[in-house]
Amino acid sequence: MALAMTLDVRQQAIIPIAAFTASGDLDKLKPVLAEGLEAGLSINETKEILVQMYAYAGFPRSLNGLSALTAILEERLAKGIVDPLGKEASPVPADLNRDEYGAKIRAKLSGLDEIPPPAAWQKFSPIADTFLKEHLHDRHGGPASLSPGGGHECRSDRAADAVLYRRAENQGRRVPSRSCIQAAG
């Protein structure tokens, strides 16, 4: 007997966020960002959704999405709504071979137990292969903010950090200046 797979409310909220980020429709993105936060997505989970969109929709749309999230967080904070920050991402271990790890993730996502020999496109454009493997390492390896198993990422978003600083001040706590910190728990 097959189990029925359904998305919970938080997971369902990811779909319109990704769709409107990809289409670049900021007027539709802003309300669904608020709906996602209301559905229980944390700030870091929502931020990670928008960051991941760079690989699928390009940096400009990803950055526009992050700007929209920052604006929504400012509006919500002005109304006294304090959204949970959520789990921070963990740093990449210094000794991790990103190329090898990315190749293993790519094989796993393809349903393979071993890394296959390079395809023609990999030989033709090694830099595309490198970018893909680095993306797979950073994203599908499990950013701690979206993956229960944890993972690695390291980046800073000044606009989002500014919002986090304001939130921290309002809550009487301090937030690190970079999102590249060891995940709690």
Residue range 9-89+145-171, CATH number: 1.20.1290
Per-position pLDDT tens, the chain of length 185: 556 678 999 999 999 999 999 999 999 999 999 999 999 999 999 999 998 898 889 889 999 999 999 999 999 999 999 999 999 877 778 888 888 888 888 788 788 899 999 989 889 998 888 877 776 655 444 444 444 333 433 333 334 444 444 555 555 544 433 333 222 22
Nearest-10 Cα torsion for 21, 105, 109, 86: -40
What is the reported pLDDT for 168?
A: 53
Picking from 164, 165, 124, the residue whose alpha carbon sits closest to that of residue 145 is 164
What is the reported pLDDT for 71?
A: 97
DSSP 150-168: --B-----HHHHHHHHHHH
According to CATH, where is 1.20.1290 located in the chain?
9-89+145-171
Structure tokens at 40: 């229980």
Q: Is 0.85 topped by the overall pTM?
A: no
What is the reported pLDDT for 4?
A: 65
